[in-house]
Amino acid sequence: MQNDQNKKISMKEIAVLCGVSVATVSRAINNTGRISDETKRHVLEIIDQYDYSANMAAKSLRESRSKSIGVIVPDISNEFFSKITLKIETFFYEKGYSVFICNSANDPEKEKAYFKSLDSKLVDGILFISGQKNISKDLISRNIPFVCIDRYPYHELNLPNVTCDGIMGSYIGTELLIKKGCKRILTIRSNTGNYSQHKRLKGYENALKDYSIPLDDNLLFSLKGPQSSYIEAENIIDRCLEKNIDFDAIFAFSDRAAYGALTSLKKNNIDIPGKVKLVGFDDSLYSRLASPTITTIRQDTDLLANLSSQLLYDVMTGTKELTNEQIVIPVTLIERETT
Amino acid sequence: MQNDQNKKISMKEIAVLCGVSVATVSRAINNTGRISDETKRHVLEIIDQYDYSANMAAKSLRESRSKSIGVIVPDISNEFFSKITLKIETFFYEKGYSVFICNSANDPEKEKAYFKSLDSKLVDGILFISGQKNISKDLISRNIPFVCIDRYPYHELNLPNVTCDGIMGSYIGTELLIKKGCKRILTIRSNTGNYSQHKRLKGYENALKDYSIPLDDNLLFSLKGPQSSYIEAENIIDRCLEKNIDFDAIFAFSDRAAYGALTSLKKNNIDIPGKVKLVGFDDSLYSRLASPTITTIRQDTDLLANLSSQLLYDVMTGTKELTNEQIVIPVTLIERETT
DNA sequence: ATGAAAGCGCTAACAA
DNA sequence: TTGTTAGCGCTTTCAT
């Protein structure tokens, strides 16, 4: 049954319809306390009949919680983030929460504005994938439960955090290349300077060291950022080939960059994996759809999203204390045609 | 400055701090009515100092609106939808609205549940990309402004709707193939039976008719759905080749299916575009990253999202009446290597 | 088991 | 220009 007014039917009206008080209706809905089975059944029947649903604004005002959370991501149109977002949404849907999607576009101002807005809307928690190195402390005004995903930007306070094992990822990628006989492994990393890119370089360095291969700074490249990352990566490899820089492998710390590198190699008729081997990072469409398909390091986005969601949920519901817990998820090597 | 309590500072407290009444504080914030410049300045200063932000639950309750909207999509991890979502988010962020992301997963029950939840949360509008052919009428209880995007599922009521020109898209794709000399054009469409897939078949038929090419039902294939669409498409073409079905082109009504078809053709060493030409639909990564790159029909997701957002916004703000307006956006042919 | 009533934080109508 | 106050729809304490 429908309510043709522009206004939802209220609890008070339901109460009148049932011949009971609003308190009783409330008790019937929320399974809270003393009410006879019969009254309850009757009330719920009427509620169903009139398609009543609570006014969450009123409920939130009263309870100081909103049954919704915020997810802040740098770029929702990026496969990596949209997959994480999907899992988060699914997790919280099942718990009865709605999720606000907040695209920061790597803009600190927008991040800040969103924190304020989410605060204002009384969200019960925030999942935060920051584009920034640091978050200013005053973002967190209320004590909103708060979990960082993938990046770990905040060093003043210790916040709970779930990441993929970037060091291990780049270690096993580098190790694979070394075991296949490569000695001069060129790297391409993003310019964002964020935590995960830093870790990826670390793993590369560790592997070289363990296998006694000297680190050559001339093989370390960074994307500058203004252009699309695969165009930039393509240009980098183009120039390396022009200058006859000696390398027998490329480890790009993102699949997009790997794809760009691959484009350059193909264009210059370099035999892959014969002459140059290639490894990417993420296991995104870029590595899967490329031809040849690109060997990559898979990050388990499902697990990442589920653990983060569960952690936040536990904190929100008081099941768990808010700690500075650091959860690190293992990564997997996916061997494909470029090695 | 920060508030260390778990509770936000309230307007009343701000009022006390300023030595004025809450009404005055409200007026200062909302630029509503009679207040002296000096008082206003002072109030805003204190507000800034204490980092006050309104309790939206209270505000929503009072004003019966929430400054937030809902976006219902079938699959946020799908590039097409995530690009649209990003643009919607950006549009509404600039207008001061937050957006709830609702992933229906093509599940009618979940769609319904989300409608109820959004209704409950007093969203000011809904953008709806349905997976369904029909929406049951009772989804819309309050008169929430409501715009359908891309699909047009609802035939009982006339709702405003923004779509890409699917008929034109498949027409120009088919026409291209015909002009390149193809006469036996195999099609692969999705099984979802949704409106856009239907239109795409229509455009194909129209083009054949205009060029006096007989329609052969044996060249019409549908994806069944359980498996990933590109695996299924690959299987379909595999079987066609086994059975020696005669065709000189494939028009897949999605890039994913086109990618699957391409995989089969390559595997079977069919010369592309020499022996068989291929066209996809969407201009997604699948067509751009494939090798050879796939000719496709580009849907302008930015325009789609912006027009829908603007339309919804105009209705929400009362700038525009809610009509059954049908906006159709032109599509573009992107020629690549498979033709 | 049920009802009456206070109050969550805000806006707006009315008074001063 | 500013203050007082009612009331938005709900939960919850306290009576009954």
pLDDT(A142) > 90: no
pLDDT of residue A324: 83
Which residues of chain A make contact with B290, given a CB cutoff of 8 A?
289, 291
**Does residue B241 lie within 7 Å of nucleic acid chain C, judged by its CB?**
no
Work out the minimum CA distance from A206 to partner chain B, whole angstroms.
33
Q: How many C-beta neighbours within 10 Å does residue A264 have? A: 20
CB pairs under 8 A between A and B: 151
Of A60, A101, A142, the CB nearest to B6: A142
* CB A258, CB A223: distance < 8 Å: no
CB contact at 8 A, A202 and A253: no
pLDDT digits (tens, 9 = 90+) for A170-216: 999 999 999 999 999 999 998 765 667 778 999 999 999 999 999 99
Interface test with A, best of B82, B287, B337 (most A CBs within 10 A): B82
Which of B8, B58, B138 lies nearest to residue A142, judging by beta carbons?
Answer: B8
For a pLDDT cut of 90, what percent of chain B falls above it? 79
pLDDT at B72 over 70: yes
Percent above pLDDT 70 for chain B: 92
Tokens 């709970």 locate to: A160
B55 → chain A, closest CA residue:
A120
Q: Is the CB of B35 under 7 A from strand D?
A: yes
Q: Which residues of B touch A54 (CB under 8 A)?
A: 120
Per the structure block, which two tokens stand in for B166? 């699917």
Q: Residue A33: what residue type?
A: G
Q: Give yes or no for a contact between B223 and B252, defined as CB atoms under 8 angstroms apart.
A: no
> Which contiguous run of DSSP H or E holds residue B310?
helix B301-316
User: Using one digit for the tens of pLDDT, what is the confidence trace for B148-187?
Assistant: 998 765 556 678 889 999 999 999 999 999 999 999 999 9
Nearest nucleotide to B26 by CA–C1' distance?
C11
Which pLDDT score is estimated for A4?
45
CA distance B34 to chain A (A): 26
The rounded distance, in Å, linking the Cα atoms of A277 and A271 is: 9
pLDDT band at A2 (very low <50, low <70, confident <90, very high): very low
B31 touches strand D (CB under 7 A): no
Q: Which residue's CA shows the smallest distance to C1' of C3? A: A21
Collapsed DSSP state (helix, strand, coil) of residue B135 = coil
Q: Is B303 buried (19+), middle (13-18) or exposed (0-12) by CB count in 10 A?
A: middle
Distance CA B295, CA B338 (A): 6
CA distance B61 to chain A (A): 5
User: Which comes out higher in pLDDT, residue A4 or A29?
Assistant: A29
Round to whole Å and give the CA distance between B303 and B15: 45
Q: Which nucleotides of D are covered by protein (CB under 7 A)?
A: 1-5, 7-13
What mean pLDDT, rounded, does chain B reach?
91
Q: What is the pLDDT of residue B197?
A: 77
What's the Å distance between residue B14 CA and nucleotide C8 C1'? Answer: 17
| Residue ranges in B32-121 assigned as alpha helix (H) | 37-49, 56-63, 79-94, 108-120
Select the residue of B53, B93, B122 nearest A57 (Cβ to Cβ): B122
Q: Tell me: the pLDDT tens digits for A28-77?
A: 999 998 899 999 999 999 999 999 999 999 999 999 999 999 999 999 99
